[in-house]
Amino acid sequence: MTNRETIARIRQELTDRRVIKGNEIATQGYLRLAANVQTGAALNSITWNVLSNQGTVRATEVRLDITDMFTVTHWGLYLVKSGTTTTSTDAELATTHLFTNPNPLTFIGAGESANLMNVYNGFMSVTVDRNKIIDKYDAMRYYRVGTAQKGVNQAAIAAPPAGTSNSYVDDSWDNVSYGMANCDPNVTLNGVGDNNITLTLPSAANLSGTTSTNFVFLIMRGIRWQNASKLNA
């Protein structure tokens, strides 16, 4: 969580650097960006659309409004498997789970689990308005395998014991920050800026061996600076 002391400290840092004026309304917020990696061709990197006016915003996405700025304090990479075809609908995407590793009992297509491991063996880089904020940030910091992953009880998958719910065979999810890592140094995205967030993969990944759609979600928590972009200057 982003407390008042953290907001005050980051406000002062951004004001000193003349990134913001210093009197903007600050609220806790988050961004949830989706990248469809079901290209059917070799994939060497993943880049997310950050702004609300870029491309098509999917059902579970939360983008940055062009009037605002956003400081990232924590972020995480999550895998999503959606639908039964390679063109997932928003209705299908809205019912999916977030995964913190490519469990081979979930990502069951030919080569699917192995190729998705590229995500966690890659590295993140961030450039804002041509300024390199993060050069290389290892994605393995986002990798989590809980103590009760799908498949821990094979009999339960076929027939959950009487009185148990479907969660009996779900992947574990320890707390609201599961899979999140500190974003240090903090990254401040600009609603009218050039925000480039890229995950570089160590090897070309090909996900054509599955009939569902795979997404990589980048979830960022931090501070929303209302009406702070240069659009309002």
Q: What is the pLDDT of residue 147?
A: 66
Q: 153 is in which domain, residue-wise? A: 147-178
| Whether residue 200 is found in the same domain as residue 156 | no
Span 160-174, pLDDT tens digits:
555 544 444 566 667
Q: Do residue 140 and residue 151 come from a single domain?
A: no
pLDDT given at position 40: 61
Bridge partners (DSSP) of residue 181 are: 75
Count the domains in the chain. 2
Q: For 184-202, what is each residue's pLDDT tens digit?
A: 889 999 999 999 999 999 9
Both 83 and 160 in one domain: the answer is no
φ/ψ bin of 163: left (φ > 0), alpha (ψ from -120 to 50), beta (otherwise): left
List, in sequence order, every beta strand (DSSP E) within the chain. Answer: 26-36, 43-47, 69-82, 123-128, 131-138, 181-190, 195-205, 213-225
**In sequence order, which ranges of the chain are alpha helices (DSSP H)?**
4-16, 90-93, 112-121, 154-158
Band the pLDDT of 233: cuts 50, 70, 90: low
pLDDT at 132: 94
More confident residue, 76 or 175: 76
For residue 168, the model assigns a pLDDT of 47
121-131: pLDDT as tens digits: 999 999 999 89
Report pLDDT for 164: 47
Helix/strand/coil percent split, the chain, to 5: 20, 35, 45
In a domain, 9, yes or no: no
Give per-residue pLDDT as tens, 21-63: 999 999 999 999 999 998 666 789 999 999 999 999 998 999 9
Do 194 and 222 share a domain, yes or no? yes
Do 42 and 97 fall into the same domain? yes
Question: Is the whole-model pTM more than 0.95?
Answer: no
Low-confidence winner among 74-78, 104-108, 110-114, 216-220 (lowest mean pLDDT)? 104-108
Q: How far is CA 46 from CA 22, 26, 33, 104, 125, in A?
A: 34, 30, 11, 22, 11
pLDDT at residue 140 in the model: 96
